[in-house]
Amino acid sequence: MEILTPRDFSVDGRRVLLRADLNVPISDDGSIADDTRIRAVLPTLQYLMSHGARVLVVSHLGRPGGEVVSRYSLRPIKQRLASLLDQPVRLLDGPLTGALSRFVNGTGPGEVALLENIRFQRGERENDPSLARKLASAVDLYVNDAFGAAHRAHASTSAIAEFLPAVGGFLMEKELRILGRLRDDPKHPYAAVLGGAKISDKLQVCRRLLDRVDSLIVGGGLANTFLLALGHSVGNSLVEQDMVSEVQELISASRRSDVDLLMPLDVVVARALSPGAASRVVSSSQIPDGWSIADIGPRTVNRYAKALQGSRTVFWNGPMGIFEMSRFADGTEQIARTVAQLEDAQTVVGGGESTEALKKLNLTSRIDHVSTGGGAALEFLAGGDLPAVRVLHSKAPERGLWVGGNWKMNKTAESAHDLAAGLAERWQKDEPEVVLFPAHPLLHQVGDAIGGSTTLHLGGQDCHWEESGPFTGGTSGRMLRSVGAEYTLVGHSECRRYGGDDDDRINAKVHAAWDAGLSVVLCVGEQQSDREKGRAHERVSEQLRAALRGCEDRLASAEESRIWLIVAYEPVWAIGTGEAASAEDVQDMCSHLRDELGSILNGTSAQLVRIVYGGSVNADNVDEFISLADVDGALVGGASLQVDSFLPLLERVNEMAEDSEK
């Protein structure tokens, strides 16, 4: 997934909420033990500052449970951030409404304010839309650079994207790019090393990894449940009795998948998990009663190291033992050394204790990528869904740009032929895809004029819901296909207003067009009365859902969705009023439409459906709309009626397409 970033927006003078993961370790004396996560967000923050943005940084720290807890205040982070930026940073604490007001009224271009711990707010962890709406009301753009929290659907990472444009920061972009390559095209053999306390936290991930890796290596507390599942006694060790049957099935699944599942051969056990308690190394099948597993043993370390030596890709997440106690850190440190010494493998490490081990041993530079996300990296690499990433606007060059010229009830046979011929002669570029929609009596003349063109296509302005019959004035999909049409408009606002098209008839037309082999340009849009009642989104959702009723078979795959459907948003409320939709209006509605498509189709299909703007567009303003994250083209009216006005518009869209590929 290639997400949009602040580079794709003008941020000069705009208020920007930057969601960061500044959840750094704080020592008992209140100092920051490790500022890696603060430094990781600096490239995005400095870019925003240097481009004149007014930045509100939002982060969590610890788990205060929706209450104000002084030890979880971001005050130490504010001080470190100010030091790293070499400029003042204000901490906005107290009631949220007042804090946001102080940001809006007291933050100038290039200045930074830090909101007090967002988890002091009760609605954060519940993904409360009212909290998200309040945060969004203070800013113009949302930038998420908190990859470490991307697997959480919280108000400041997920719900907020419903209310304003949402893009990723440069750290988020880097994580998704690197981890995406590892997820989609890893080199084999591929080994995953998983540690940590509980298998319940990673069971689903383990299942998905079986389809991707050649070997799965387990250690730490989660390995205890594996040993119990094999029938071994584990003494007083941390174990999840209720997960034994699940782990047994995982072991069986690994055999069916021909994945080498490696479990501890020997372990370090202790009388008590305390610094001075007695400890010794025993076989993993001979753990004495009353003792607890504290680390993997030397035979296990050697076995795991040998297995990793032949790997071309290695992902490590989680400690092999009780790493925070130095006497039980050897297994984790040995794995760190082994992974760091792999010269022929791509190595990726995620998780706080794994990265802490690398840092302690001064091995971080030997790893290809040290992720800022533990659970997020693991979930993403296993093919899981990251809620905070799903809501970000993504670049979709695979959709391609599209421009339609709707000539409406204009032109004669001669002038239509001349216009089409002039375009065919002068327009020879592959992008954008261009479709001409003349009045139906002129289809034959226009088709003849563009017959030899590979860059111009023909479409009908409407399509009857029946294939043939006693329907005076009607034009069926089969008729349109017979004169070379590849597309048809359906549900245009003028057909709804003057032609009596309602939602049921439009649905019938959509299916009739598809049955005839036509791609559908489905027009939707809200009236002024819908806006006044606050139901603009609701109305276009109703239109979209009604029109696409029963679409499952036709739009079964992502590529079919791209081929058979284009959605054109018409701001009907602006027609004939002298008003025009702003870029913000258009992006808001087109983003909503894409989200709605995602609930009708699958997520990938929704991302491939082209959504175009059907308002007032010309060569002077087309880039304002085409540059929007969820707009893939335009349905053009008056500007398409002359070569001298339509051609410059097409040239400008082509320039934008070429720029996006650079």
Catalytically active residues are 492, 570
Q: b vs e for 598-611, b when ≥16 Cβ sit within 10 Å of the residue's Cβ?
A: bebbeeebbbbbbb
Half-sphere exposure of 89 (CA within 13 A, CB side): 26
Taking only Cα atoms into account, the Rg of the chain, rounded to an integer number of angstroms, comes to: 30
Residue with tokens 């967002």: 118
Q: Return the H-helix or E-strand segment holding 481.
A: helix 477-482
Q: Return the H-helix or E-strand segment holding 459.
A: strand 456-460
Angle 536-547/503-515 helices, nearest 10 degrees? 40
Coil/strand/helix, residue 54: strand
In angstroms, rounded to a whole number, what is the distance separating the alpha carbons of residues 486 and 133? 43
Contact criterion met (CB below 8 Å) for 450 and 487:
no
**CA distances, 193 to each of 220, 221, 338, 430, 488 (Å):** 10, 13, 12, 47, 54
Can you spell out the DSSP letters for 494-547?
HHHHHS---HHHHHHHHHHHHHTTPEEEEEE---HHHHHTT-HHHHHHHHHHHH
In angstroms, rounded to a whole number, what is the distance separating the alpha carbons of residues 225 and 486? 60
In angstroms, rounded to a whole number, what is the distance separating the alpha carbons of residues 103 and 114? 9
Can you spell out the DSSP letters for 133-170?
HHHHTT-SEEEE--GGGTT---TTTTGGGGSS-EEE-H
Which amino acid is it at 223? A
In angstroms, rounded to a whole number, what is the distance separating the alpha carbons of residues 458 and 438? 8
DSSP annotation of 85 reads: H
Which amino acid is it at 42? L
Q: Give the neighbor-by-neighbor strand order of the sheet with 279-283.
A: 279-283, 266-270, 292-296
